[in-house]
Structure 1
């Protein structure tokens, strides 16, 4: 059996916070180095989307395509051009989201496909482990087989540990 790849396994909320924080840092660096280039921000959003989908834990896989657009919106705040004040910032944010929709959709699609491939791979691996366990006659710990074997040992005078 292949070794499990090393890496963090984050909850859905944790992956969302990580994605938002990384995208905010990327936007700040983009602002400092390139003057707030939407192209640089969009290109760097794609690998962050894939990494978010790779690092989320198995039970929260379907949250990856949900948290990635939120991270994009949080991160675009420093890059968004606004006149100042709350209304100017909101208008700049809406404009940036509208003009960068291609990158947003692309990153969300990549996160969704990555999550679905991971889910299918994990399901296939789990099914293979179950098949080999059935072939070898291994009983699940704590299952009905374990209770039956404990009763058989007790009936024969053997000791059981609870």
Structure 2
């Protein structure tokens, strides 16, 4: 087995529930939003780039039964972290206007991350369905064999 593959298999492999994946994604994006605000002065491009690996991890770490929640929770988490990065004016109205503007200008990152999480979830779901179908076919074949 190649060394790179061994290292990848040695990485943590948590299985998050739908709620757990949402909390994970939202917490990480809020933390990244604070870090981007402090280190990069609120650069929305850096925030968008950091959003993509979080989407991938969320899609890979969600449980098999909750796969369809991954593309739902990542846009919510994007908006959660964006609250810390978006420029804002005075009061609630100014903060809301900054959030809406940031969502509009950074829609490419949002759609890209959501599409990535959705594609990974769909591929995992198809592989799961094929595995189940193969196991059912093997069980049916085993039952049909005559015993001697």
Shorter-normalised TM range: 0.7 to 0.9
Gaps of 5+ in 2: 1-8
Superposed counterparts of 1:7-156, under 5 Å: 7-137=13-143
How big is the shift at 1:7? 1.3
Greater helix share, structure number: 2
Output one character per residue of 1:6-43: Cα deviation in whole Å (capped at 9) or x when no partner: 61111111111111100011111111111111111001
Q: Secondary structure at the match of 1:39?
A: helix
Q: TM-score, normalised by structure 2?
A: 0.85
Choose 1 or 2 for highest CA Rg.
Answer: 1
Give the RMSD, CA atoms, in angstroms: 1.9
Q: Which has the higher contact order (CA 8 A, sep 6+)?
A: 2
Q: TM-score, normalised by structure 1?
A: 0.78
Number of equivalenced pairs: 135
How big is the shift at 1:131? 2.2
Gaps of 5+ in 1: 139-162
The worse-fitting range, judged by mean Cα deviation, of 99-108 and 9-18 is: 9-18
